[in-house]
Amino acid sequence: MQNGSKFEKLLNFGKFVVTAELGPPKSADLSIIRRHGECLKGYVDAINVTDNQTAVVRASSLACAVELKSMGLEPIVQVTCRDRNRIALQSDMLGAVGLGIHNILCLSGDHEKFGNEPGAKGVYDLDSIQLLGVASGMKEGRLCGGDKLDGPADIFLGAVENPFADPLNYRILRLRKKVEAGARFIQTQCVFDIELFEKWMEGIRKLGLHERTKILAGLTPVKSARAACYMKEKVPGIVIPDKIIERVARAKDQKEEGINICVETIERLREIEGIAGIHIMAIAWEGVVPTLVERAGLM
């Protein structure tokens, strides 16, 4: 087996890490993954590859992660509970580790209703917390049903949390469940409401969760006020305060203002105790990542 997760080593070393998200193409042509990967090289420490995000059929997360890996990049494979039962999930995780991809992020997944196959049967055999528990068992050589693996799987396990979703006062406890189930890194939903996020982190620190898991704050640069409104209305789990939308709307160059807001947020985030890095989700605007990283001085 390979040498485990580079991403994990960087986090343990105490580096303030940067991860970015890439969405696989809606075709069998994976060249766009290589192009985006090339553009992120040297700017990020690891790259998340989404798993049919918003329930839209795309090339498989694992296949695209293999492409990135072959370019010397460090992929994080996202795995959702929506499309696969515990047999397929465990099998895919074993395959990923076998191919040298150790970073696995477990999610429930956006509901199938949102995608281009709304008649699909959602699986949800496991929920995300159960999936984390199952993957933790695999690290110890144990399958969900109790059967033994012929060898343990070296997985660096991650999860997500949305500090802005309701019921708000349970979001910290939910994160604790994920940590207890084995999540060693957390990537949050994108932060627009920094005050609310700071309050959430305060709660996280009170429980000492930042010492048991590495927390990466999510960020999404907005391209325009219209895009921000769309995200606020249509994308599940995203909360954008009106003052942010108004600020972008007032700007002469809305794209530039979107970047400014992001850079300012990164500066605020770096001051929060317990934040181990940032996770940039610039879907359909991947090219902005190097700019953000440079402007925020994270090189």
Partner 1 sequence: MIIVEGKPLPEIVSMLAPFRRVFVLGCGTCATVCLAGGEKEAREMAEALLLYRQQQGEPLEVKVAVVERQCERELLDSTRREIEEADAVLSLSCGIGVQCLNSYYPQKVALPAINTKFLGYPERLGVWQENCRACGDCLLDYTLGICPITRCAKSLQNGPCGGSKEGKCEISAEVPCAWQQIIERWEKHGTERFPEIRPPRDWSAGAAGGPKTVVKGDVAFAERE
Q: What is the DSSP string of 96-136?
A: HHHTT--EEEEE----GGGSS-TTS----SS-HHHHHHHHH
The radius of gyration of the chain from alpha carbons, rounded to an integer in Å, stands at 18
Q: Which stretch binds partner 1 (CB under 8 A): 14-22, 64-72, 117-125, 274-282?
A: 117-125
Strand partners, 17: 277
170 binds partner 1 (CB under 8 A): yes
> What minimum distance in Å lies between the beta carbon of 63 and partner 1?
25
- 42, 151, 237, 287: which one contacts partner 1 (CB under 8 A)? 237
Closest CA to 272 of 195, 161, 163, 187: 195
d(CA 56, CA 292): 27
The SS3 assignment for 179 reads helix
Judged by CB under 8 A, the stretch of 28-36, 39-47, 71-79, 80-88 that binds partner 1 is 80-88
Stretch that binds partner 1, among 13-21, 65-73, 166-174, 190-198 (CB under 8 A): 166-174
Q: Beta-carbon neighbour count of residue 81 at 10 Å?
A: 23
Minimum distance of partner 1 from residue 195's CB (angstroms): 19
Binding mask 44-63 toward partner 1 (x if CB under 8 A, else -) reads --------------------
Q: CB of residue 175 vs partner 1: minimum separation in angstroms?
A: 10
Locate the DSSP E strands across 124-274: 156-161, 185-190, 214-219
- Answer whether 257's CB lies under 8 Å from 248's CB: yes
Nearer to partner 1, 90 or 265 (CB): 90
CB of 244 to partner 1, least distance (A): 17
Site for partner 1 in 171-210 (CB under 8 A): 173-174, 176-177, 180-181, 189
Instruction: Name residues whose C-beta falls within 8 Å of residue 106's C-beta, 6 or more positions apart in sequence.
Output: 79, 81, 128, 131, 132, 135, 157, 158, 159, 183
What's the rounded Cα separation, in Å, for the pair 288 and 44?
12
CA pair distance 79, 152, nearest whole angstrom: 19
Our finding on whether 82 is near partner 1 (CB under 8 A) is yes
Binding-residue total with partner 1 (CB under 8 A): 36
* Interface with partner 1 (CB under 8 A), residue from 6, 34, 41, 86: 86
Q: How far is the CB of 57 from partner 1 (least distance, A)?
A: 19
Nearer to partner 1, 31 or 170 (CB): 170
Q: Which is nearer to partner 1, 51 or 110 (CB)?
A: 110
CB 108 within 8 A of CB 78: no
Residues forming contacts to partner 1 in the complex (CB under 8 A) are: 81-82, 86, 108-111, 113-114, 122, 124-130, 133-134, 144, 160-162, 165-167, 170, 173-174, 176-177, 180-181, 189, 236-237
